[in-house]
Structure 1
């Protein structure tokens, strides 16, 4: 009688990470790989650095920092999920066109786009009044 894969916990453990440190190393390697291979992720990280520097210059309040950091991390996470979806589609289709694969890639890209638009809205709500206050002194 065949044994279900989930019946034997010892065999299942072979495929799991052996420690928290090992899991952390794999996660960091995943981020490094995505950062190295994805132009858009580099752009998002670069803009995040600019936003954090601007937040320091404008001395953001705690709630502004929370919103800013939330959207920064949302955009970066969505970009990594998008990259994951693209890689899975490419692996399954062996880089050949597939209409369902195209839908998956397009929807994952749409998720990044919507998240980036939300981030721009939050950034505008935080920074435009501060920049306007400075500019209005000179006008």
Structure 2
């Protein structure tokens, strides 16, 4: 019996990775905005759930894309680099945003996160579009 709650995985299996990434990024953005404006524990819990849905969907899609873009003998290295990069990003982000929170207050770190998600999304789509264009040019020659 299939689990009908695994919607993102089913869409990715059908080749809709970009669609899931867009929806997940939007959920992540909404959650970060809610968190930056939260003044009650209910809003914090709702924001956390929405952020969890966004982040929880984006991470395995990126991991799958990275693993599928390398030769089979390099999958271990790609997987390791993916998780090491995530850990480094979280460590650097926590340190940097801690400084920002000390100077401007906690709501500002979620606003900065909001902007970073937008920048990262734009970079992702620009770079994947460029890569797709280069791949089609190579196949034509």
TM-score grouping bracket, smaller chain normalisation: 0.3 to 0.5
Rg comparison, structure with higher value = 1
TM-score, structure 1 length as denominator?
0.36
By relative contact order (CA 8 Å, sep 6+), the higher-ranking structure is: 2
Which has a greater percent of helix?
A: 2
In the superposition, the TM-score normalised over structure 2's length comes to 0.36
